[in-house]
Amino acid sequence: MQGLAASSKLSLTVVVVAVFLLGLAGAAHGRRKLVSSANDEPCKKMTLYYHDILYDGGNNTANATSAAATEPTALSNSTYFGMLVVFDDPMTKRKALPVGNELPTARAQGFYFYDKKGSLNSWFAFSLVFNSTAYKGTLNLMGADLMGERTRDISVVGGTGDFFMARGIATLRTDAMEGLYYFRLQMDIKLYECYV
Ligand SMILES: *[C@@H]1O[C@H](CO)[C@@H](O)[C@H](O)[C@H]1NC(C)=O
Ligand SMILES: *[C@@H]1O[C@H](CO)[C@@H](O)[C@H](O)[C@H]1NC(C)=O
Ligand SMILES: *[C@@H]1O[C@H](CO)[C@@H](O)[C@H](O)[C@H]1NC(C)=O
Ligand SMILES: *[C@@H]1O[C@H](CO)[C@@H](O)[C@H](O)[C@H]1NC(C)=O
């Protein structure tokens, strides 16, 4: 009995010391790095919808959240080659746009431009800015949006705040196109490096 008590005391001491040391290691680095190598096992995953409401040059100034900042070039006007669009778009968990005072889950702030002569193709660089009770911080995304493909991957190159140093992939899929001035993308954001 006494032997048992002594050994459980010893193991308790070991556990306490180990926890203390882990605590120190944690404190030294602040966060723990999680790296996932399996495609289907990201360390964090979320699906958000990106709503691009383009300024139509006329009546939708109250509603629009993006605007062409340059004209297409004469090189290939039909594919908008060289046109750059700056956006501050709402990102939502569901497909619907926020109504009334409802806040979006995040804002997508950045730009895309059209970069192909023969067909429509674009390139994106933007931050997802989170400022809610759920998340505060940014995720930074960039890459080619190969518009001919049903789904295309762009890189999550970094993050800040709750997404400190995050890296991963965002899979984009065009979910809706309404006329020339609205489209919606589904973004499946999968992080493979998380610091928690
Ligand atoms: C703006 O509204 C006017 C009047 O309803 C309409 O004639 C015009 O075509 C609209 N402009 C655009 C760019 O939608
Ligand atoms: C804003 O634009 C979106 C996309 O075209 C449309 O669905 C929505 O009804 C518009 N909202 C208002 C208030 O005009
Ligand atoms: C490109 O097309 C637009 C709309 O059709 C037109 O207004 C513009 O003048 C054209 N630009 C060039 C450089 O051809
Ligand atoms: C974030 O939200 C807080 C509280 O609603 C607000 O005071 C602050 O201005 C917001 N920051 C940004 C960058 O939007």
Report the 10 Å Cβ neighbour count for 21.
10
How close is the Cα of 57 to the center of ligand 1, in Å?
9
Which of 141, 137, 136 lies closest to 154 in space, CA to CA?
141
pLDDT number for residue 6:
46
pLDDT number for residue 49:
98
pLDDT number for residue 30:
84
Which of 61, 64, 135, 63 lies closest to 93 in space, CA to CA?
135
pLDDT number for residue 2:
47
- 76 Cβ contact partners less than 8 Å away, ≥ 6 residues apart: 116, 117, 118
Locate the ligand 2 atom nearest the alpha carbon of residue 51 and give its number.
4
Q: What separation in angstroms does the CA of 27 have from each of 18, 31, 32, 164?
A: 14, 8, 10, 16
How close is the Cα of 63 to the center of ligand 2, in Å?
6
pLDDT number for residue 79:
96
- Residue 179 Cβ contacting ligand 1 at under 6 Å: no
Which mean pLDDT values do the consecutive 10-residue runs of the chain (196 residues) have? 46 43 49 94 97 96 97 95 98 95 96 96 98 96 96 98 98 96 98 96
